[in-house]
Amino acid sequence: MLQGRRILLIISGGIAAYKSLELIRRLRDQGAAVRCVMTEAARQFITPLSVASLSEDKVYGDLWSLTDESEMGHIRLSREADLLVVAPATADLIARMSAGIADDLAATTLLASDKPVLIAPAMNAMMWAHPATQANLAVLASRGVGRIGPAAGDLACGEVGFGRMSEPAEIVAEIARFLVKNQRLSGRRALVTSGPTREPIDPVRYISNHSSGKQGHAIAAALAALGAETVLVSGPTSEPTPAGVKLIGIETAAEMLSASEAALPVDVAVMAAAVSDWRVASSSTQKLKKNGKGPPNLRLVENPDILASIAGRSNDRPALVIGFAAETENVVANARAKRKRKGCDWIVANDVSPGTGTFGGERNTVHLVHADTVEDWPAMSKRDVAERLAERIAAALVPDTAAAPASPRVPGAGH
């Protein structure tokens, strides 16, 4: 099942580390090559000798070993793997991953990697529930890091609750599912626009909007997680760049259009950006000063419609062009009209009525408007909307690949 797959297993220090030995054995039974990195703390729980014997490879752990660095540095450890699995992932390593700290070989390898990462957390229930851990997990999720478990049950510390590392068999099944799912869009190219645009008035002022980029970035992350070569053209946001995504930062609608055109050809284009409809006809190169003659008259001109122009291309139109529509009333009817007007294939219509909390919020209620049908999706996190949309895209572009079951959600562990 995992024949030829190369897994870099990062073992951090928790009592669950003993399960990693069985995990290595099971992964090898499935045909995977397993190379291991152990943290200093992991060595307190299991010996590098057992890990080396089971993996039949050298065990890595020392950031400062000249031999390791010359033979197999942290960059190569990640480059030579298809997937990084952190099991057990302690609260400490999760925190270091979230903060981008690189103070040992495990953390440095994770920071220097552009490969997909799955974590199998293991910790005490109080540590799991702590807002610091939950915030760190949310950051990792927003960067596209996948999670397996933890499960509820008796913990080594004598307490009962969430925090038990998932069983090795379950972790192996999730790894296999992830790798299959991960490949469905491999060899395909995707373009996603996200965030607001900024249209300058003068060197210090601009016209913009409140778009957070959360939905667009989540879509880019979900497409990259399915293996698509993904270009994300985004206006200024505070969202982290998802793993495996090529970010092109722009400010104006004109820049977004040329960056989007430069990304062609692609198989799918998802235009989730909130593009400013207008720009100042001639923005001032000098700061506008109060000159005693009252406020300046700003003449606005219309910006190019990026969605319509990508959808209208004759030679290199993407096979699938998807737009967004922000509506407060007659959501589906307006979105249908917008789909036709802009010439795109699907429209994701969001209800942005006051009270839905869509703008800047974590959740979204959408309808996926096709040419003839409409899917009404329940309210869900923006990440779930992104994953479901990516699944629909994969099904449309590569219809013969069956959808893999979604990764498990852990009750009580909100994203």
Q: Which residues are catalytic?
A: 157
Q: Which helix (H) or strand (E) holds 286?
A: none
Residue 94 interacting with ligand CTP (CB under 6 A): no
Is the CB of residue 342 less than 8 Å from the CB of residue 307? Answer: yes
* Structure tokens, 59: 């065990």
Amino acid identity of residue 203, one-letter, is P
Minimum distance of ligand CTP from residue 353's CB (angstroms): 13
Is the CB of residue 152 less than 8 Å from the CB of residue 164? Answer: yes
Q: CB-wise, 146 or 235, nearer to ligand CTP?
A: 235
Residue 326 interacting with ligand CTP (CB under 6 A): yes
Interface residue with ligand CTP, options 14, 61, 235, 323 (CB under 6 A): 323
Piece of 21-29, 134-142, 198-206, 273-281 that binds ligand CTP (CB under 6 A): 273-281
Minimum distance of ligand CTP from residue 403's CB (angstroms): 25
Residue 306 interacting with ligand CTP (CB under 6 A): yes
Residue 11 interacting with ligand CTP (CB under 6 A): no
Minimum distance of ligand CTP from residue 197's CB (angstroms): 8
Dihedral in degrees, nearest 10, Cα atoms 95, 97, 101, 104: 100
Distances (CA, A) of 239 to 140, 236, 387, 414: 12, 9, 17, 19
End-to-end CA distance of the chain: 30
Minimum distance of ligand CTP from residue 257's CB (angstroms): 8
Order of strands, edge to edge, in the sheet holding 33-38? 59-60, 33-38, 6-11, 83-89, 117-121, 146-147
Q: CB-wise, 80 or 316, nearer to ligand CTP?
A: 316
Q: CB-wise, 306 or 366, nearer to ligand CTP?
A: 306
Q: Which residue intervals of 229-276 are DSSP H helices?
A: 253-263
Minimum distance of ligand CTP from residue 359's CB (angstroms): 12
Minimum distance of ligand CTP from residue 280's CB (angstroms): 15
Q: Are strands 117-121 and 146-147 parallel, antiparallel or unpaired?
A: parallel
* Structure tokens, 36: 């291991």
Residue 325 interacting with ligand CTP (CB under 6 A): yes
Q: Which helix (H) or strand (E) holds 58?
A: none
Q: CB-wise, 38 or 233, nearer to ligand CTP?
A: 233
Could you give the CA distance from residue 261 to residue 244 in angstroms, rounded to a whole number? 21
Interface residue with ligand CTP, options 128, 162, 206, 324 (CB under 6 A): 324
Per-position x/- string for 216-255, each x denoting binding to ligand CTP as judged by CB under 6 A, each - no binding? -------------------------------------x--
Contact set with ligand CTP (CB under 6 A): 193, 253, 271, 273, 275, 277, 303, 305-307, 323-326
